Amino acid sequence: MEPLLTINNLSIKYKEKKGFALKNICFTLYEGEILGIVGESGSGKTTLAYSVLNILPKETHIEGEIIFGKNNLFTLGERDLDNIRGKEIGVVFQEPKAAFNPVLSIGYQFIEFLKSKLRIKKRSDCFKKIEKLFSKVGLNDTERILKSYPHQLSGGQLQRTMIAMALSTNPRLLIADEPTSSLDVTIESQIINLLMRLQKELDLTVLFITHNLALIEILCNQVLVLYEGEIREQTTKDLLFHSPKDIYTKKLIDSFRKIT
């Protein structure tokens, strides 16, 4: 297996904050793997996702390197980055309602995305592509959804659209940043199973960020436990649940067992 994403000694400090948001993060993600990143709110999970996309605020203090494929993401120019963001790295964010522009229709946003990333020129070609993608993620009436504005769709529908958009460019890496934490259980279950199926079909490499250990249990092969910006434990899923080494991890698993 080839390493797809390698992070070396990554430390990040936001301009106005005192401590480091991330401290000395090192890990490697191999092709075809699902790596789960678990931690409480404020542990730096989302900062990690943002740094892989290199969309941190301008004056952030960054140390270390992130190597994606053969490129160091921090030294690339804006134009090369644009070819990677959203194209080679697909993203599904936490809050589907906030991920879309509320004053533009879904169709406009989707077609805009396809035009800029895939250079598809004809509207009808875009439409065909979207229809194919939608059937993959279980959305049936393409036309109605494309005409709708984000507030007219449910969270589940928006998240499916989001996934379809992220997968439209055949990304090499998919970052899913708590993709289901704002959805309710039935929809969550559907979306998770959808992601699992798509991962197998397309042989995707996934960086799955969550605070929900139950999802780690069913989705991931490798797990990384983050706490206050540091990696507390890095292990396989089975070892994490059966013999956690770190005290914090043990506590986390204990509290998880209490409510399940």
Partner 1 sequence: MEILRTDKLVKHFKVKKRIVKALDGIDIFVKEKQTTALVGESGCGKTTLAKTILGFYNADSGKIFLRGKDITNVVKNRKFIQDNIQIVFQDPFLSFDPRYTTFSTLYETLKIIRRVPKEKGRGIIIDILNKVGFKEDVLSRFPHQLSGGQLQRISIGRALLRNPKIVILDEPTSNLDVSTTVRIIELLDRLQEDHSLSYLFISHNLKLIKNISHYIFVMYYGKIVEYGPKECIWKNPLHPYTKLLIEASEYKIKDVSLKEKEDTEGCLFKNRCLLRSKKCDIEPERKEVERGHFVYCHFV
Which residues form the interface with partner 1 (CB under 8 A)?
40-42, 137-140, 154-157, 160, 184-190, 192-194, 197, 211-215, 218, 251-252, 255-256, 258-260
**Looking at beta carbons only, is 143 or 184 nearer to partner 1?**
184
From the CB of 42, what's the least distance to partner 1, in Å? 7
Residue positions counted in the chain: 260
From the CB of 146, what's the least distance to partner 1, in Å? 16
**Looking at beta carbons only, is 7 or 137 nearer to partner 1?**
137
**Looking at beta carbons only, is 125 or 238 nearer to partner 1?**
238
**Looking at beta carbons only, is 13 or 211 nearer to partner 1?**
211
From the CB of 166, what's the least distance to partner 1, in Å? 16
**Looking at beta carbons only, is 75 or 140 nearer to partner 1?**
140
* β-strands 71-72, 89-92 pairing: unpaired
Q: Which helix (H) or strand (E) holds 200?
A: helix 185-202
Confirm if 75 and 28 have CB atoms less than 8 A apart.
no
Q: Tell me how far CA of residue 27 lies from CA of 3, 5, 7, 231, in angstroms.
A: 10, 8, 5, 10
From the CB of 190, what's the least distance to partner 1, in Å? 6
DSSP class of residue 152 equals G
From the CB of 165, what's the least distance to partner 1, in Å? 17
Instruction: Kindly write down the DSSP assignment for every residue of 14-36, as one continuous string.
Output: -SS-SS-SEEEEEEEEETT-EEE
**Looking at beta carbons only, is 72 or 255 nearer to partner 1?**
255
From the CB of 157, what's the least distance to partner 1, in Å? 6
118 burial class (0-12, 13-18, 19+ CB within 10 angstroms)? middle
Confirm if 167 and 176 have CB atoms less than 8 A apart.
no
Q: Which helix (H) or strand (E) holds 65?
A: strand 61-68
Q: Which helix (H) or strand (E) holds 194?
A: helix 185-202
